[in-house]
Amino acid sequence: MRFEHLGAQPRIHPDAVVSPTAVVSGDVTIGAGCQVLHGAVITAEGGPITLGEYVIVMENALIRASATHPVHIGSHVLVGPTASLSGAVVDDEVFLATGVRVFNGARIGTRSEVRIGAIVHLRTVLPPDSVVPIGWVAVGDPARVLSPDRHEEIWALQKELDFPGYVFGLDRETPDLMIQLTERYGAALARHRDDRRLD
């Protein structure tokens, strides 16, 4: 399903194959040889998404851009089933395995592997040829790759990256943080009410 969002329509190369149950919405460019499988969602919510050539987006993966965090995925990249990528840059020849989470402002270098269930956190930079092991967390710039049992170390690095401030423009110490966050984000998401289905 293709949708016009905020006046922008997806541009899909004629050699690309997009499943009829995938959703492609807004300012999205999909290059030659790409495959977007069933249930995948590629949604440009105010900022562009670009997929290079021969990108495979597997079942139920989510790729999301915002006005402040566009997405660029290079060529020959595999985005595994149920992976989620928001506002990040992925260079060429990267493998993002099943269930991976990549957050806003992250950059994943060429030929890197982010293995099953791993996380590349907010504003984290992985150099070329990096590996994030199964279930591990990459955080910071330069990235530190830590096992999930090292929560205190992860949090010490993650807290400084300021998720609510960087993504939503809100101070973490705001007493009604979740009220402001959900109302602001909800208003932005409500812009989908005016989307127009193109197919």
Q: From the candidates 38, 69, 72, 76, which is the catalytic residue?
A: 69
pLDDT of residue 8: 95
Query: Can you give the C-alpha Rg of the chain in angstroms?
Result: 17
Per DSSP, helices labelled H in the chain are 151-161, 163-168, 177-189
Task: Give the residue with greater pLDDT, 32 vs 187.
Answer: 32
- Pairwise pLDDT comparison (25 vs 168), residue with the higher score: 25
Which residue in 33, 60, 4 sits closest to 192, CA to CA? 4
pLDDT in tens, 91-104: 999 999 999 999 99
Query: Is the pLDDT reported for residue 33 higher than 90?
Result: yes
In this prediction, residue 160 carries a pLDDT of 85
pTM over 0.85, yes/no = yes
Q: pLDDT at residue 174 above 90?
A: no
- 111-168 per-position pLDDT tens digit: 999 999 999 999 999 999 999 999 999 999 999 999 999 999 999 988 888 888 998 8
Q: In sequence order, what are the beta bridge partners of 18?
A: 36
Q: Which residue has the tokens 């139920």?
A: 60
Name the residue among 59, 108, 52, 63 with its Cα closest to residue 80.
59
Q: Establish whether 69 is a catalytic residue.
A: yes
Distance of alpha carbon 25 from alpha carbon 44, whole angstroms: 6
Spatial distance between the Cα atoms of 184 and 12, rounded to a whole number of angstroms: 31
